[in-house]
Chain A
Amino acid sequence: MNFNIAIAGNPNCGKTTIFNALTGARQRVGNWPGVTVEKKSGQYNYSDIRFDVIDLPGTYSLAAFSAEETVVRHYLEQDEAQVVVNIIDASNLERNLFLTTQLIELGKPLVIVLNMMDMAHEKGLQIDADTLATLLGAPVVPVVGRTGEGMDLLKEKILRVSTEISMKSRFIDISYPRDIEIEIEKLTHLIKRDDESHKQSRWTSIKLLESDKQTRDEVRIHPDGADILKQAKNSIERIELIFKDTGRAIISHARYGFIQGALRECVVESLVDSVDYSRKIDRLITNRWLGLPIFGLFMWLMFKLTYDLGSIPMDWIDAGLISLMNFISALMPESMFASLLVDGVIGGVGAIAVFLPNIFILFFIIAVLEDSGYMARVAFIMDRVMHNIGLHGKAFIPMIMGFGCNVPAIMGTRILESRRDRILTVLINPFMSCSARLPVYVLVAGAFFPDNAATVIFSMYVLGIVAAIASGKLFSRTILKGMSKPFVLELPPYQRPTLRSLILHTWERGYLFIQKMGTVILVGSVIIWVLGYFPRDVQVERDYQKERMELVEDYDYQMINLGTKFNKSVQKDRQEYHSEMIAYESSSSYQELHHQFQQLQDDLQNKEALELYRLRQQEIGDITEQKWIGRVGKIFEPIVRPLGFTWRESVALITGFVAKEIVVSTYGVLFGVGEDIDEGSQGVISGLRSSGMTPLVALSFLVFTLLYTPCLATVAAIKRETGTWAYTIFSIAYSLGLAYLLAFGVTYFGGMFNWLS
């Protein structure tokens, strides 16, 4: 036997805390179909009965304004949940009860939970739960979610209500002013012919008087729909005439009236001398002068911790991956499968796996900011700035996070309540230059602008911000116009976060990252590997084998020459040596000659190794040109030629789709210097310089790299958060278009004035 129960309540009322206390670790996170609103479900057993719990998104009302409200309305109007558990912040009763009045009218068996009783006591509120229960017609359970106090009683009450579902007699009606009741009566009378229960027809009538669109749509398909809607129209007009306001406003006011009446009967506010700590903290943290510097400090700390702390395990993971690759290479004979495993799977997924520590730390810090209540203050402080691009203040957080990595940043847009804001933030986020782009800037700027590298790199960051702001303004005036919601933001009291909840939050998001990004990156890496691996036998024009032998011969010859020269010098020196006291071999002049010889010999050997290495990499470059990936690069070459790019840039940019930092290693391969930037960056730099690329084209390449879609993982994140391929494809197309346009602008106008040629 099992029951379905749904948890509903305002944002910040402690819903998640109660949900976790009820279900423990047995929970799953998914999305509601069609919308990117998180759907959390879990279960627990109580006296041999299983309870399946759904944690509904936090809402202030059931008006079907936002995606969240629609989800809640829709779910509760279905028959899926047998019992609704309404969580209420006892320290903020009046506003929290507004939703309760609607839940009462909805008519589902209800259990009301007075959470945060500790805070209510601190505020000096004495709440008579029994009277409240009588007034609301539902059991009321006081709890402290944070400590778990009262949870057993809650489970007991849920059980009782679930098993006594037939007892509907206790339901009460919220009563409205007489003139409204008359109209409700008229409507219920009409609706009742459809065999609905009293509760349901009253709910429908009230919603009709509130001009609720969803209800009107539902009524329209009823047999008497037309009549009912006509009556509703008349009723609304009458109400407006009498009350000089909309039905909805009057009904909302009446609900608050009911709540105030109830509170008068069951709440005693003693005049305790309580200190409002939260307000005191806020006096400092959102202070006129200190607010911004403190915010800046927190952001800086967030970055610092994420990257500095994250780099330690990053090195371990890196080392671990390398030894894993070596281990597998040693274990397995060279084969296609081995290459797929080592170069494709481990190489590709590993490139993302090294970012895991950063991502987890970032998610942890965000959880701290959210749970403590600071996130709402960030929105408060930064709203002025973000409002300029048509966004909510909270959108600032994902934008800043984008400097680190766009993937968690895009996933972080979940903190935004409106879908339109989320989509807008997701679309402009990739322009924030993530850390993976930095190696590309360092390399290319270092090669072409050695004196101004820092300036060039900095201007890339600025250009990214400008592109984000401009695009944001553009989108909010075109494709995402008019869907903006007013800024009405609750500033909940500060709370000390519990470790348990922090870990849960971090893990939830981190797990999604691993799961979703893992699959996409895996597929992407394998595709790139396939492109680079096939066809197996390629013909290159240069005879590398012969060149290699000639090279070795040449060096052997030089080596012999060097030896001969040394011997001659020694002979000559020995003849001029006269001392009898010390043997010639121990003399300082011989020592010096010998030392010189050894040094020359070492130099020669190093040069040989380097040239052999370069030859090998040139061969790889030539082979790559013949592989599918090279051919793909060649196909795209005509398209990128106006930008001044060759097939090499084309290939680099294509592989950059998997992850931006790959651009550097691709260049390494293509310019025949090696994949390891630490070792070969000098080589790449000289390779880049000698490839005929001008500084202007290099700048254009940097602009392109900055602006086009950051990586596959970002694409996956965009798909996940926007929920549709349409926005995902739009995002890719837009950023590619913008990248092309601006890069072309750089090449074209720069060329016109002969800059940097």
Chain B
Amino acid sequence: MFNFKKPRHKLHIADENDLRLSDLKPGEKGRIVEIGGSENFRHRLIEMGITRDAEICVDKYAPLRDPMELIVKGYHLSLRGMDAQKICVERIA
């Protein structure tokens, strides 16, 4: 699916057209495909349970629209839109 030459330094996100976590609307569910961004950011998210294939649900957006509230592994978590944009997901019904 992805073409990795030098995985250490390359973002894992392949395609501009991939669905991002930030594209999901409140109430929609997705499955994590890949996490991009800096190494520290990726690892932080993985440690918090945003692992590959994990199910994630967008609960709602903050009143000022920015951070979003997510449900993953049975708990609630908040991420900024700009960070959620680095996460590739596939929509599940």
Question: Residues on A close to B: CB < 8 A?
Answer: 60-61, 63, 65, 91-92, 94-95, 98, 123, 240, 244-246, 248-249, 252-253, 256, 279, 282, 286-289, 291-292, 376, 379-381, 383-385, 387, 393, 485-493
Contacts and interface: CB of A to CB of B under 8 A. Distances in A.
A22 B73 CA distance: 30
Given A288-B61, A289-B63, A252 B46 contact: yes
A740 B35 CA distance: 49
A384 B67 contact: yes
Contacts of A383: 62, 66-67, 78, 80
Contact of B51 (A256, A485, A487): A256
Contacts of B73: 92, 94-95
A291 B75 contact: no
B18 to A, nearest CB: 17
Given A65-B44, A249-B43, A94 B63 contact: no
Contacts of A95: 48-49, 73, 75
Contact of A253 (B8, B40, B46, B77): B46
A126 B66 CA distance: 37
Contact of B49 (A98, A387, A486): A98
Interface string B1-35: 01010011000100000000000000000000000
B8 A246 contact: yes
Nearest to A237: B8
Contact of A60 (B47, B60, B65): B47
A291 B78 contact: no
B4 A244 contact: yes
B79 A487 contact: yes
Given A95-B49, A95-B73, A490-B77, A252 B67 contact: no
Nearest to B81: A384
A161 to B, nearest CB: 27
Best-buried of B37, B47, B59, B64 by chain A (most CB within 10 Å): B47
Contacts of B49: 94-95, 98, 256
Contact of B69 (A60, A286, A393, A485): A286
Interface residues on B, range: 35 or more
Given A381-B62, A384-B67, A489-B78, A65 B8 contact: no
A490 B75 contact: yes
Nearest to B3: A244
Contact of A291 (B2, B4, B48, B63): B63
Nearest to B8: A240
A133 to B, nearest CB: 22
A65 B38 CA distance: 13
B63 A487 contact: no
Contacts of B45: 486, 488
Nearest to B59: A279
A295 to B, nearest CB: 8
Contacts of B52: 253
Nearest to B35: A249
B40 A94 contact: no
A287 B63 contact: yes
A248 B42 CA distance: 10
Contact of B67 (A123, A287, A393): A393
Given A286-B63, A384-B66, A489 B47 contact: no
A55 B77 CA distance: 25
A92 B77 CA distance: 12
A60 B77 CA distance: 13
B74 A246 contact: no
Contacts of A92: 73-75
B10 to A, nearest CB: 10
B54 to A, nearest CB: 8
A383 B61 CA distance: 12
Contacts of B59: 279
Contact of A380 (B2, B51, B69): B69
Contact of B83 (A292, A379, A486, A492): A486
Given A92-B75, A246-B39, A489-B78, 12 more contacts: A92-B73, A95-B48, A246-B43, A287-B63, A379-B78, A380-B69, A383-B78, A384-B62, A384-B66, A393-B67, A485-B40, A487-B78
A488 B79 contact: yes
Contacts of A393: 67
A62 to B, nearest CB: 10
A61 B44 CA distance: 9
B83 A380 contact: no
B43 to A, nearest CB: 6
Contacts of B39: 246, 248
Contact of A288 (B7, B12, B63): B63
Contacts of B47: 60-61, 63, 98, 252
B8 A488 contact: no
Contacts of A289: 63
Contacts of B60: 286, 288
Contacts of A292: 63-64
A640 B62 CA distance: 48
Contacts of A98: 47, 49
B63 A491 contact: no
B51 to A, nearest CB: 5
A106 to B, nearest CB: 16
Nearest to A62: B47
Contact of A240 (B7, B46, B76, B78): B7
A244 B7 contact: yes
Contact of B7 (A94, A245, A487, A488): A245
A84 B42 CA distance: 28
Contacts of B65: 384
A287 B60 CA distance: 9
A488 B78 CA distance: 6
A92 B71 CA distance: 12
A480 to B, nearest CB: 17
A383 to B, nearest CB: 5
A63 B45 CA distance: 12
A487 B80 contact: yes
A245 B63 CA distance: 36
